[in-house]
Amino acid sequence: MADEIAYATIRELGERYRRRTLSPVEVTRHLLARIEKLDPALHAFVTVTADRALADARTAEQELRSGETRPLLGIPVAHKDIYLTRGIRTTAGSALVADWIPDQDATCVQRWQEAGTILLGKLITHEFAFGIQFPGHRFPAARNPWNLDHIPGGSSSGTGAALAAGLVTGATGSDTGGSIRGPAAFCGLVGLKPTYGRVSRAGILTLSWTLDHAGPLARTVEDCAHLFQAMAGHDPADPASSPLPVDDYLGELGGDVRGVRIGVPRTYFFDGVDPEVERAFEAALATLRRLGAEVRDVDIPSIHVVPSFMLIMLSEAFAYHERDIREHPELYGEVLRERLLGGALVTGAEYMQAQRLRARLCAEVADVMRTVDVLATPTAPKPATPFAAAHDPSFGFPRSNMPPFNMTGQPTLALPCGFSASGLPLSLQLAGRPFEEATVLQVGAAYERATDWHKRHPME
């Protein structure tokens, strides 16, 4: 019964709720007990909202009895702790706002609440959603449930750990350079970075205005689509929010991929790739070919301009934090403080040049996307890093396959495609045309149906 509840999908929970063989209150109590048992070793949660969760569950039960059929009704979720939650502490993983209790909800929080979700709590994030969680951090680092000695990915580290360990059914993340897809890759999950502007960032603490994306993580593509459907859409409170209508992201999930054109950009994305990662990726391509997809290599000449990502991110992050870091530098972690202050050294000319290179990359990718429907790469060149290596002062910023798609703003999905010999998850990354999340999800769902990687779980 533990597995049936802890790792049940949204569809499975909904069907059992409506047959009345399981209730939202039962599920909530079970998961709260599981959090109490497992989280002392995982450190996924900053705040557990047990009373709120049980109240949400009772409300969901009443609505279910009245015949309400919203797909997310009674589904247990949690939010990355940069999402504002009214009346509930929002720490951003930082001593600067460790005791802050907002008086409003982020738009995504509000939309999931309106969809009937049950809020189990807030999940640890790297400080202000930046990079790696170094020693000296205000809160203990979340651990990877597949191996507690390895990182769960950042900065949505608590989200990755909680989902992989079966503590929640769905959760939010944010992605400036891979912080949805990284935890998905390292924890054996599905994570969707939507098109820039598709999901509101109102009420989510900023790292980089032009690179930040908000989106869902879950354990299956269908669950991710359900969560995304409820959070997508225009929001006048976010100046970058798109007014384009929202598609039906669930309607095409059962479709096949015959004739879908998949492009593989090998330059950059295979630099330093681990042999196990490459083998798993090639096997995933073989599966997609067997399902009828057309796979071919493509070239993106300016892909190596991605170092400009760092100039953009650091300068925008410093601009956001400038007042606080000048007035209260001691409340920032030492590593984060040094890196934010590095953003002050980026000149206006350098920032503009980085944006020009970004525009060139976007134009080249748009040209490629006229010839293919989806791009496929390994999500990460290596499995999850051990904490011992990540905390080495020389570790710096590891090379990543994820920032290019923050630069272009394309919808990008990460999903499991294998395991290393040491038992760590490996991941496939799929990127589509802007606002064509439905295509990316359809390809991901077809691959998922043909494999069983997503059915494996740690902690049992």
Contacts of 176 (CB under 8 A, 6+ apart): 129, 155, 207, 208, 211, 212, 213, 313, 406
Assess contact for 242 and 435: CB atoms under 8 A.
yes
- From 23, 80, 302, 420, active-site residue: 80
Nearest by Cα to 142 from 457, 332, 387, 420: 387
d(CA 302, CA 306): 8
d(CA 281, CA 358): 27
Assess contact for 212 and 201: CB atoms under 8 A.
yes
- From 23, 157, 179, 242, active-site residue: 179
> What does the block give as tokens for 290?
């067997």
Interaxial angle between packed helices 221-231 and 437-449, expressed in degrees from 0 to 180 and rounded to the nearest 10: 160
d(CA 292, CA 260): 8
Assess contact for 35 and 248: CB atoms under 8 A.
no
- The three-class DSSP label of residue 304 is helix
DSSP letters for 358-401: HHHHHHHHHHHTTT-SEEEEESSSSSPPBHHHHTSTT--S---S
- Dihedral over alpha carbons 248, 250, 255, 256 (to 10 degrees): 110
d(CA 280, CA 418): 6
d(CA 134, CA 138): 10
Active-site residue flag, 155: yes
d(CA 232, CA 214): 10
Contacts of 6 (CB under 8 A, 6+ apart): 30, 31, 34, 166, 167
- From 94, 155, 157, 241, active-site residue: 155
Active-site residue flag, 179: yes
Location of structure tokens 């196990």: 276
Location of structure tokens 């909202």: 49
Nearest by Cα to 375 from 402, 412, 350: 412
> What does the block give as tokens for 195?
């098109």
- Residues forming the active site: 80, 155, 179
